[in-house]
Amino acid sequence: MRRFYLFLPLLCALSVPCKAQDFYNDTIRTVTATEEQPREHLAIDTIPSSDKYVKIVLYDDYTWEYIDEGHPVIDTAGFYEGWDPDMIHAFRGEPLSALPDSIDLLLADESHGYCAPYLAKVHSGFKFRGRRPHYGVDLPLSVGDTIRAAFDGIVRYAGTPKETGGYGNLIVIRHDNGLETYYGHLSERLVEVDEMVKAGECIGLGGSTGRSTGPHLHFETRYHGKPFDPQRVFDFENGVVRDTIFTLQKHYFNIHSHYGQTDKESKSASGNVYYKVKKGDNLGKIAKRYGTTVGALCRLNKIKSTSTLRIGQRLLVRKGTS
Ligand SMILES: [Zn+2]
């Protein structure tokens, strides 16, 4: 550890707020390095440096030293796979069949911290909501509340996507455990693309931008661009991970598979969507409502386009993904 002596006027100058970089520029030229000596003095202040993992500690004998808090260990092998800062979802076009049936992901240990992005009771979960799949959890909040990074990682996307409507102001972080986390509807972003973040670091402020009916955080967990229920990872009310090692099963990517189901239930969730025929319905109307065609509905239900629909009849309108 290098130790430096400061001149008194410089120390006074340090008591006024200044950016870490200014601190370097103003002082580095005038300090004198000395031999390592046993520490006998009290720390009086801690100042950030240009590296957020390194702090400068000032002692009451006008000396200072760098304290390296330890950079997160990021295994870069495969870390940047499918990386595209212009694309909202990574690994675009990769089929589900390319993934293993099950994979163990490290969520936390002594050197890998974690943090629930926001503490709240889940308002709306991972499921089909009306006609639209909801690929995350909604956590109600007040505009301006602090949103934190779930794990150490690097910001892959920061912006307001136009082509993937709904997210509003969005941050996507790639983590060294292979997961990506999404933070949507933010009122403000506090990190940039390619910025390294630590678990628990404030990355943005809660808001209601995009397709949102009130202030909340839309939080997603994805692996290879594919979403699964974030409640499998976090207990959002208590701010803890369910386990330090998470076994991600392929069938978790089914929108009908969510936390709290037994694995058997989760696997058997077919994902099929049915519609109950009402008075005044016809195949054309139903097809339009579900964004499909009369021909596709007929094939799914093994009926003819001229078939008469009965009120109360169950029609398969979308086939599940599993
Ligand atoms: Zn949402």
**Greater confidence, 36 or 251?**
251
Does one domain contain both 263 and 299?
Answer: no
Cα of 204 vs centre of ligand 1, distance in Å, is 17
Angle at the Cα of 164 from the Cα atoms of 158 and 170, rounded to 5 degrees: 25
Neighbours of ion ligand 1 (CB under 5 A): 138, 218
Number of domains the chain contains: 3
Cα of 197 vs centre of ligand 1, distance in Å, is 23
pLDDT at 73: 63
Residue 88 within any structural domain of the chain: no
Q: Average pLDDT, whole number, for the chain?
A: 84
Cα of 207 vs centre of ligand 1, distance in Å, is 12
Q: Provide the CB-side half-sphere exposure for 211 (13 A, CA).
A: 9
pLDDT at 185: 97
Residue 79 within any structural domain of the chain: no
For residues 164-171, average pLDDT: 88
Does one domain contain both 193 and 123?
Answer: yes
Reported pTM: 0.68
Does one domain contain both 148 and 244?
Answer: yes
| Structural domain that includes position 295 | 273-318
pLDDT at 7: 41
Please state, for a pLDDT cut of 70, what percent of the chain lies above it.
Answer: 83
Residue 91 within any structural domain of the chain: no
Cα of 84 vs centre of ligand 1, distance in Å, is 23
Do residues 307 and 297 lie in contact, with contact meaning Cβ atoms separated by under 8 Å? no
Residue 86 within any structural domain of the chain: no
Range ranked top by mean pLDDT from 23-37, 86-100, 190-204:
190-204
Closest C-alpha to 186, from 151, 213, 210, 165: 210
Domain CATH for 242: 2.70.70.10
What single letter denotes the amino acid at residue 215?
P
pLDDT at 26: 42
Does one domain contain both 246 and 101?
Answer: yes
pLDDT band at 85 (very low <50, low <70, confident <90, very high): confident
Does one domain contain both 150 and 227?
Answer: yes
Does one domain contain both 229 and 302?
Answer: no
